[in-house]
Amino acid sequence: MKYDILIKCKRIRRIVGGNSMYNLLLVDDEASTREALSSYFPWEDLGFHIAGQANNGKEALEFLQHTKVEVVLTDIQMPIMNGIELAKTLYDQNSDIHVVFISSYREFEYAQKALELKVRNYILKPAKYHVLQEVFQRLYTELSSSNTEEAKAPSEHLIIQKIKDYVKLNYKTATLEEVATYVYLNPNYASQLFKKKTDTNFSDYLIKIKMQEALKLLKTNQFKTYEISEMVGYANPKNFTRTFKSFYGYPPSHVKRGDGHV
């Protein structure tokens, strides 16, 4: 498995505060993957020490019996005991170890299961240098706080706020994939987190922002309906009109400047 970090192994300035160093366990059945992660990414600059490596979940649990570890970076699909089973075991033990998944598997059920087991992030292979950097910088900050459980909520709140801000600025072309890339998360994971924290589907939130902007534009009486349709990201004016009517209960043609609708 070739990693982006193999060709981008420059040293990064340590931007985390304090002198704390946290132990990290790498779990993957591919030795080349573990070696790449271990040797070519500047973990210590981010405040992490590679305490050990394991070939599967069973070996990881055995290692954790005699070595204190704060973070486990694990693959999902492995023999004997996979990453989901490892995370579940730690969850059932009420362990305070932070689990980060790294896997080439994109299936919805994996992202959903990760949320259930309080897995912190879901990184796709091949792991991108900047994604690893972002994830572990954020994780270091949480670990360094006086109460990591209390730190989790603000961190997730920040992610949701970043998603909302991105949509408000890029509503014309925004997609779930773009937003997920922006916050360094798997699209399925980002979708589930957004739903969990806002009780709203991402697609519904995107439509809401588009329709709110469309209403503002309609009330100015400066643009025709088909122009506004394009301005908020609808190539087909009929689709825009249908969505607008479904959202507000009346068509765009009924909106007049100063009407006071909505």
Instruction: With a cut of 90, say whether residue 117 has pLDDT above it.
Output: no
Cα distance between residue 77 and residue 105, in whole Å: 8
Q: Which segments of the chain belong to CATH 1.10.10.60?
A: 203-254
The segment(s) of the chain belonging to CATH 3.40.50.2300 are 4-148
Give residue 259's pLDDT.
52
Alpha helices in 145-261 (DSSP H): 148-169, 176-182, 187-198, 202-219, 225-231, 237-248
* CATH dotted code for 203-254: 1.10.10.60
Cα–Cα distance measured from residue 51 to residue 164, given in angstroms and rounded to the nearest whole number:
37
In angstroms, the Cα distances linking 30 to 5, 65, 108, 124, 240 are 16, 23, 23, 15, 49
Whether 52 shows a pLDDT value over 60: the answer reads yes
Judged by DSSP in three states, 167 sits in: helix
Q: Please indicate whether residue 68 or residue 3 has the higher confidence score (pLDDT).
A: 68
The two beta strands, 48-54 and 71-74, are unpaired
Helices then strands, each counted (H, E), the chain: 12, 5
Range from 58-62, 101-105, 136-140 carrying the lowest mean pLDDT: 101-105
Please say if the pLDDT value at position 260 is more than 50.
no
Provide the CA 63 distance to its chain's centre, in angstroms: 28
Q: How far is CA 45 from CA 131, 137, 150, 191, in A?
A: 15, 10, 25, 31
CA distance 198 to 129: 30
CATH code for the structural domain at 4-148: 3.40.50.2300
